[in-house]
């Protein structure tokens, strides 16, 4: 069973919401532009992309410590791929350990430690098998949760910061384009075309911010909350095993805990939507 849980936990799948959202958003903008008589070539400006992306990266690097920046870059795949953190699977795994501990004592779980995929659960059960005091186990593992939560928040804020800088860098790119246009006012036929090209940088800045950077930050926060919820569920399960509770009672407790956390996460997600919308307008 441990091997089965390990294979389940290691699986990841494409997040269709992220992929379809990004493709659909860009597609809708391009379609609308073409319906107004525009052409795709009108907004395909390499220089504008270099100015916006390069300038945004530079601003973020000045703002963010390098270790956090690298951590955020590694988490980029988490926007488009998600790993399974099923509460039901976690509960079943906990119950299997609880049943074995009730039959043969908690020390018997030592043979299962190497087969536990999740390092958090493995660490908690190792402390339990070693006879660590219940309060000490809870304190140590809650500290781990708090530290990971801070790290995840910091990495998500990297993308939120990029979403704040990108529109401003886009304006800088537009101004730079206008400066070049103003140098050639003698050719009035080229002025209008030059102004149109200059404002592409603004489109890129606002587009990258609202279609990718800000949504990516919020998606990574959602991923982090799901992981932390799973770890809190594991900690409750391990503490229940240490307390010697009946496996049936542990199941009831963990299922209630999972439902309560899920409802809190939904409420929290709703509260975060308003600030994100305000940031996008800004």
| Cα angle value 225/268/271 (rounded, 5°) | 135
Q: What integer is the mean pLDDT of 225-229? A: 90
Q: Which of 60, 16, 75 is nearest to 209 (CA)?
A: 60
Residue 216 pLDDT:
95
Other CB atoms closer than 10 Å to residue 222's CB: what's the count?
17
Question: Is residue 133 classed as helix, strand or coil in its secondary structure?
Answer: coil
Q: Per residue in 84-134, pLDDT tens?
A: 778 888 999 999 999 999 999 899 999 999 999 899 999 999 999 999 999
Same domain, 112 and 33: no
Domain membership flag for residue 6: no
- The answer to whether residue 2 is domain-embedded is no
What is the average per-residue pLDDT within 243-257?
92
| Whole-number pLDDT of residue 59 | 96
pLDDT > 90? residue 232? yes
Residues 102 and 160 in one domain: yes
Please report the pLDDT score of residue 269 as a whole number: 57
Question: What pLDDT band is residue 5 in, cutting at 50, 70 and 90?
Answer: very low
Question: What pLDDT shows up at residue 248?
Answer: 93
Say whether both 38 and 151 belong to one domain.
Answer: no
Q: Are residues 71 and 209 in the same domain?
A: yes
Residue 3 pLDDT greater than 50, yes or no: no
User: Which domain does 19 fall in, by range?
Assistant: 14-43
- The structure's pTM equals 0.79
Instruction: Determine, yes or no, domain membership for 171.
Output: yes
128 shares a domain with 34: no
pLDDT one-digit tens code per residue, 156-198: 999 999 999 999 999 999 998 888 887 777 776 667 667 777 7
Assess whether pLDDT exceeds 60 at residue 275: no
Question: Is 251 a member of any domain?
Answer: yes
Give residue 278's pLDDT.
53
What is the tens place of the pLDDT at every residue in 52-64? 999 999 999 999 9
My answer on whether 168 and 74 are in the same domain is yes
Kindly state whether residue 119 falls inside one of the protein's structural domains. Answer: yes
Residue 70 sits in the same domain as residue 108: yes
- The answer as to whether 51 is a domain residue is yes
What the block records as the tokens of 189 is: 């036929």
Does 24 lie in the same domain as 92? no
pLDDT of residue 190: 67
Q: Is the pLDDT of residue 8 over 80?
A: no
Report yes or no on 166 lying in a domain: yes
Q: Indicate if 21 and 158 belong to the same structural domain.
A: no
> pLDDT tens, 9-44?
456 788 889 999 999 999 999 899 888 888 888 788
5 lies in a domain? no
- Are 190 and 184 in contact by the 8 Å Cβ rule? The answer is yes
3-class DSSP state for residue 84?
coil
Look at residue 152 and tell me whether its pLDDT is greater than 90: yes
DSSP, res 118: -
Check if the beta carbon of residue 138 is closer than 8 Å to that of residue 239.
yes
Q: In the predicted model, is pLDDT for residue 7 greater than 50?
A: no
Cα separation, 150 vs 142, in Å, equals 12
Enter the DSSP assignment of 116. Answer: -
How much is the pLDDT for 148?
Answer: 93
211 vs 199: CA distance, rounded Å: 18
168 and 206 share one domain:
yes
Q: How many domains does the chain fold into?
A: 2
Q: Residue 4: its pLDDT value, please?
A: 46
């Amino acid at each position: 069973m441990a091997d089965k849980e390990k294979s389940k936990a290691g699986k990841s799948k494409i997040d269709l919401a992220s992929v379809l959202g990004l493709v659909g958003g860009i597609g809708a903008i391009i379609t609308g532009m073409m319906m107004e008589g525009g052409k795709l070539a009108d907004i395909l400006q390499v220089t504008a992309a270099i100015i916006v992306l390069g300038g945004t990266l530079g601003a973020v690097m000045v703002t963010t410590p390098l270790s956090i920046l690298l951590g955020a870059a590694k988490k980029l795949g988490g926007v488009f791929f998600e790993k399974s953190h099923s509460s039901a699977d976690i509960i079943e795994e906990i119950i299997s350990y609880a049943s074995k501990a009730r039959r043969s004592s908690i020390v018997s779980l030592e043979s299962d430690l190497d087969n536990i995929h999740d390092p958090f659960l493995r660490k908690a059960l190792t402390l339990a098998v070693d006879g660590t005091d219940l309060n000490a186990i809870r304190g140590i593992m809650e500290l781990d949760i708090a530290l990971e939560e801070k790290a995840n928040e910091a990495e998500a804020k990297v993308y939120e910061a990029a979403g704040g800088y990108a529109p401003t860098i886009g304006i800088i790119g537009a101004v730079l384009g206008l400066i070049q246009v103003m140098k050639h006012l003698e050719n009035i036929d080229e002025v209008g075309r030059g102004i149109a090209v200059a404002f592409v940088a603004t489109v890129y800045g606002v587009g990258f911010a609202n279609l990718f950077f800000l949504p990516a930050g919020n998606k990574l926060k959602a991923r982090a909350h799901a992981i932390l919820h799973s770890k809190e569920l594991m900690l409750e399960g391990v503490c229940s095993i240490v307390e010697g509770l009946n496996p049936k009672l542990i199941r009831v407790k963990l299922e209630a805990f999972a439902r309560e956390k899920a409802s809190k996460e939904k409420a929290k997600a709703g509260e975060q939507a308003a600030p994100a919308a305000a940031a996008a307008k800004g």
